[in-house]
Structure 1
């Protein structure tokens, strides 16, 4: 009799767990619904590159220091303003170092310094990165 009394809580607990598992939806049963919504979303959003937005998020990176931040710009934003804002965001805005001692490059092509506005420098909707290098004169 003592053995039956000790096993009773374990049996009751197992029965409750089994009952709860019966009410959970099966993972396999939910896949068709997920597939349908994924296809509908993919059909609604097509991006073929280029610039289609008025406001774009860019990565501002100082590769030599391993620092990186994000900033939101418009195509009309000047490279000088991006440099000034980026230096401030990364903490490189010391007054005794002029902005002219830094150079900005496109993250994919570091051969030509960026000049003018960011829109004139090949800005795209997604994944645009600017690299800042300290080049004292």
Structure 2
């Protein structure tokens, strides 16, 4: 044991405790960023499900297509919204709905302040709540599958 102690006394690390903490922080941030990416991927799947609903499966019809286009999500991570984390895929009609949905989601994102990843789902048209109140699914029912989808994506990492 004394030989081991003597050998250890000559050991001098080439890193500081701050280097060690920075390395741990970088690793943790990498895990958070990967989880945030999967959060966003699950959100995209929910948006696609909500947009694909038809009257036949408790969805709603399309007159102007604005409501369907206003359904989307965005990811806030580290208090930032990157363009690649905004998901409002435009359809052939109802382009104003896309603009309104993105604007509404950005407005909600301003309320996020702690830096944690937050996924925001919206149906941006002001009459979305009315359509939901008629027992038609705009986004609420589709969003119930989010947890299952997210868990599947996280388990693939």
Please indicate, yes or no, whether the TM-score normalized by the shorter chain is above 0.5: no
User: Of Structure 1 and Structure 2, which has the larger fraction of its residues in strand?
Assistant: 1
Relative to the length of structure 1, the TM-score reads: 0.28
- Structure having the higher helix fraction is 2
TM-score, normalising length from structure 2?
A: 0.25
